[in-house]
Structure 1
Amino acid sequence: MARLDIKRKRVALTRELARLKHDLQARELDLEIQCRAMQDTLGELEESRSRYAELYDYAPVGYLTFDAKGCITEINLTGAAVLGMERTRLIGMPMSVFIDKGSCQLFFTHLRSCRLTGKKVTTEVKLAPKNAAPIHAQIISMPLPGGKGYGSQYRSIIADITERRHMEQEMLRMDRLNLIGEMAAGIAHEIRNPMTTVRGFLQTFMRRQEFAHIQSQLDLMLTELDRANAIITEYLSLARNKPVDQSLQSLNKIVADLLPLMESDALLHAKWVVAELPDSLPELRLDAQEIRQLLLNLVRNGLEAMAPGGRITLRTAVEDNQVVLFIQDQGPGIPAEVLPKLGTPFVTTKEDGTGLGLPICYSIAQRHHAQIEIETGNCGTTFIVKFPYPK
């Protein structure tokens, strides 16, 4: 009997051990599945964190965090590139170091407004990046709540808006040109009618013997009338809605046909004009008369800027799906204070200039959907006119 009880207990124990072993194996399997799931989740979290870090670092705008004193506590790679320094060196530096002197007060007012209002504030400032030209930037800041309330930290976005400012200035300049052109178109007829009458009487007086003693004065009056008429014509060239006659033409042919006139004009002052024109150049939709006017204005500006012996080089090329015209002189360059004003009506450095030559060139370029760029230095100035391919 005792043996039977022992045998039964052994069987029960064996079954219990088997069950426990089965439960243990099941739990081990379950833990392994959970472990793998956790590893997968951690991998996904790491991948997500990596993607977020890349999005943060390589965003099209700079992300910064400032402390209460305006020092940088965090910045992404784009922001570091805008400021022109490595990210590690920027941490702890005052942002005011990179603000142009004229914009420092704006920046501190920007932070103060954030702190006082507790709301998003947007300000445009001028930045002075390290080892780079000053740029225009927009700063958008939002105060973060801290232990002492709002203003302990600021989360900010910084964006380079230099190109946008240039475009706005270009649009404003073109609007001024168009306004002057439209005004001129409206009054030109009314002005030219009496001028024609006066010119006719002057020519009649010049043929009469009793006015021979004031012949030189009459000649001067006629010359001044013709000059006034030429200025009116220049005004009309500024109008945006001026009719144009564009057709597919060769820019090289227009330059080549005009070259003898430009060469003779240069030789009169012991200067030179040379052309470097490639054999093949795509045809463009051009108004030949307007392109000739643009060429003459730019070349004559270059000739007037050079000393005797100087040379103007005309060159055409194809770059970035554009036909490009280069007009390079060997003058002293354009002063930095004058450069931003170029193309504005009545801005001139010549004693007898009207200040309409370059504005007319810009208007012609606009009507041809072209762009004018300027490179200048002590060794000369290059005007670059970029024409788009015809559609």
Structure 2
Amino acid sequence: MSAAIMNKSMSPFVKIWVVTIVIIAGILIVSAVSFRMLVKNTAEAFNLQQLFLVRESSRGIGEFIRNVETGLRATADLFAISPQKKVLEACFNRYQDVMQVLFLVAADGSISHVVPPDTLDQTVHQSLTTARERARSSGQTIFCTDIMPLTLAGRRHISLVMGVAVPRSDQWVCGVVNFDNIKQRLIYPLRSGKTGYAWMIDKNGVLLAHPNVAMEGRKAIEVLRELWPEYSSFNLEIIIDRAMTRGEEGSGEYTGWHFGEKQLTKKLIAYSPISMNGLLWSIGVSAPYREALEPVMQSMVGPLVFVGCFIAVILLGAWLLSVQERRKAIVNQELAWSNEVFDGIADGISIIDREYRVLMVNRTVAQWHGKPQSVFKGLPCYKVYQQQDGPCEGCPARETFATGKPAFRDRVSTSLGGRKYYFQLTTFPLKDAAGNTIRVAECVKDISREMALQQELLQHERKAMIVKMSSQIAHEIRNPLGSLTLNIDLLDEELSAGTSGDMSEARRLITTIRSEIEGLNRVLKEYLECTRFPAIQPELQDINGIVGDLFALLEEDLRRKKVVFKTSLEYNLPPAPVDKDQIRRAFLNIILNAIEAMPGGGTIEVVTRSSGAWIEIVFSDTGPGIPEAILEKIFTPFFTTKTGGTGLGLSVAQHIVTEHKGDIIAESIQGQGARFTVRIPRGE
């Protein structure tokens, strides 16, 4: 309700500025929220990058340890085929990049075959014994000591010892791994951001590797508390105690000491475990939070300037919008009027592109075809209008595209809903700015009624002429024919009474004369029938019965001329109000026309069916068909293509059907026969 009142009371100018203020406020709010989300997403993305780094480092350390294990197992397997001393020397030369010393440990714990000689500190015995017994008791064939300081060849190293059981023996082949080498190769080089670094702890939280070497060997949490007694990094304690020392992988953030910094620093951390042969280490990489956000903060200058410019553009747009809306309203109104005119035109209008696709049609075209306007869009015009597979011969649209000028075609015919229509077709070019014809407007005017009226007028004129001519012919010819017939009969009687001479030639001539006179009488009868169309006397009749009577009447003639007569009559066909004699005469003329079209024999089929308020009687034959050029003329009086024909049979049939308020439609496919469909109203 309040929105409706505001819409009525507020002017368009006020509405535009209210919307503008709301948009600007929304932009500022969205910008603030987006900045917070950007900071959060940047931190998460940075931690994902750090997590990828520690994973790769963990994988590298794991591969390093597995290389040591592989070397030791290869050495143990070779003891079965070669002297142990030589095997140890050869394998040391092969794996000296990962192992500092190789040696054997007997079942009693004694050490032998040290390679290189005199390099192993005896302080390693206790750690070896503990790790070896732990592996033996658990049924394992490999052990690994904790990281410890060892003196090798007079130099102190941070190392660990890995041993592998010799197959079918109580001996263990052991190797000393220089952990300093691991740190230098796989931990210290790891960097994140500008100053971020990696560090490693064991399962007890003791630092094994750190850029500040003085911290190594001490618990990480204790070192932090020692540096800042007044501050406790609760987050870091949770990360170390509940995740890293338990072999979990993840990322997070905490506040703590950073190498090279004098103050506590908020940091991002990612960590990944290294677990093998009883060892559990965790490597982490951390970097200051500000280093992750520094590129974002630098990149925010541009967006802030953009937002400011955007707001300025919105303010300018708000001022221009009212002018644009006013112009838009005028254009929309004119467009609506144009569409109303386009759809209101009684003629059919189609817009066609250069591929002869229909782009749009007006309401008249849709009504003609009984389909929605949207159905026509994208269909080829020749397919939807003429049911053809390619452009029509003499297509006016093609001419307009070629010449850029309007084109006109008269009496274009097509079939819609089973009926034939005639159109006047005019095409107009629609050009682009360069003057090229890119589309064609096709205007179609239905002239079917005008054609029908012209045809009807012509029929009436010809029938009037027939009446006049037939009356004159009947008057001038029939009386002499009657006199000739009487005299020939008398002559025939005289010849019959005579007894002398050969009368065969005279009788033959009399027969010929009588035959010709009968032909003239038959022609006169047809002409006179055209002048004496009695008024129809309609009564409800059984159409199927009329068709059956015709078959009985023509049965002998059909058999003689080798014509098969087939029927498909609808059961319980409703009766129709017809003049039985007249409608039978119309049907007979159609059937006789079909018989004459098949001098060598063929098939005539009659189908009856009800169709809504109509009864349809379809006559089809298997003759040569009717050429398209003369199909429109077959109902014209005196038009015939048969020698000796009068051209009145189909004209009479059309007249009778029309008198019954029906119509007759002729269709034909050249070489496949003709079909005549008679439609008459059904009874109430």
TM-score band, normalised by shorter chain? 0.5 to 0.7
Cα contact 1:181–1:240 (8 A) shared by 2: no
State the Cα distance separating 1:296 from its structure 2 match.
2.0
How far does the alpha carbon of each residue in 1:72-92 deviate from its partner, in whole angstroms, 9 at most, with x for none?
xxx97249969xx969999xx
State the Cα distance separating 1:338 from its structure 2 match.
2.2
Aligned to 2:490: 204
Which stretches of structure 1, 4 residues or more, deviate above 6 A after TM superposition?
A: 33-36, 38-45, 79-82, 85-90
Which shows bigger deviation, 329-338 or 45-54?
A: 45-54
One of 183, 207, 231 as aligned partner of 2:468: 183
Relative to structure 1, the CA distance from residue 281 to residue 81 in structure 2 (aligned partners, 3 Å threshold; closer, same or farther) is: closer
How far does the alpha carbon of each residue in 1:148-194 deviate from its partner, in whole angstroms, 9 at most, with x for none?
xxxxxxxx993323423531343144224421442256336524333
State the Cα distance separating 1:335 from its structure 2 match.
1.6
Aligned to 2:424: 137
Cα contact 2:396–2:409 (8 A) shared by 1: no
Cα contact 2:633–2:639 (8 A) shared by 1: yes
Cα contact 2:421–2:448 (8 A) shared by 1: no
- Matched position secondary structure for 1:242: coil
- Matched position secondary structure for 1:237: helix
- Matched position secondary structure for 1:337: helix
Is 1:303 the equivalent of 2:595?
A: yes
Cα contact 2:471–2:528 (8 A) shared by 1: no
1:1-391 paired onto structure 2 within 5 Å: 31-32=10-11, 46=332, 49-50=335-336, 52-57=338-343, 59-62=345-348, 77-78=361-362, 98=396, 125-126=409-410, 136-137=423-424, 158-184=443-469, 186-187=471-472, 190=475, 191-209=477-495, 213-239=505-531, 242-306=534-598, 308=600, 310-377=602-669, 378-390=671-683
State the Cα distance separating 1:312 from its structure 2 match.
0.5
How far does the alpha carbon of each residue in 1:99-124 deviate from its partner, in whole angstroms, 9 at most, with x for none?
698xx99x97xx8xxxxxxxxxxx97
State the Cα distance separating 1:385 from its structure 2 match.
0.9
User: CA separation in 1, counterparts of 2:593 and 2:380?
Assistant: 48
Cα contact 1:245–1:286 (8 A) shared by 2: yes
Computing the radius of gyration from Cα coordinates, the structure with the larger value is: 2
What stretches of structure 1 of length at least 5 have no aligned partner?
A: 1-27, 66-74, 91-95, 112-122, 142-155
- Matched position secondary structure for 1:348: coil
- Matched position secondary structure for 1:328: strand
Cα contact 1:345–1:356 (8 A) shared by 2: yes
* Count of residue pairs brought into register by the alignment: 317
What stretches of structure 2 of length at least 5 have no aligned partner?
A: 1-6, 16-321, 352-358, 367-375, 382-393, 429-440
Aligned to 2:299: none
Please, what is the CA RMSD of the aligned residues? Answer: 4.6
How far does the alpha carbon of each residue in 1:304-341 deviate from its partner, in whole angstroms, 9 at most, with x for none?
22264521101111124111111110111112222122
User: CA separation in 1, counterparts of 2:527 and 2:395?
Assistant: 47
Cα contact 2:564–2:604 (8 A) shared by 1: yes
What TM-score does the superposition give when structure 1 sets the normalisation length?
Answer: 0.65
Relative to structure 1, the CA distance from residue 163 to residue 134 in structure 2 (aligned partners, 3 Å threshold; closer, same or farther) is: closer
User: CA separation in 1, counterparts of 2:485 and 2:470?
Assistant: 21
State the Cα distance separating 1:55 from its structure 2 match.
4.5
Cα contact 1:317–1:323 (8 A) shared by 2: yes
Cα contact 1:100–1:128 (8 A) shared by 2: no
State the Cα distance separating 1:364 from its structure 2 match.
1.8
Relative to structure 1, the CA distance from residue 305 to residue 165 in structure 2 (aligned partners, 3 Å threshold; closer, same or farther) is: same
State the Cα distance separating 1:63 from its structure 2 match.
5.9
User: CA separation in 2, counterparts of 1:277 and 1:89?
Assistant: 39
Relative to structure 1, the CA distance from residue 43 to residue 329 in structure 2 (aligned partners, 3 Å threshold; closer, same or farther) is: same
What TM-score does the superposition give when structure 2 sets the normalisation length?
Answer: 0.39
Cα contact 1:263–1:272 (8 A) shared by 2: no
User: CA separation in 2, counterparts of 1:254 and 1:329?
Assistant: 19
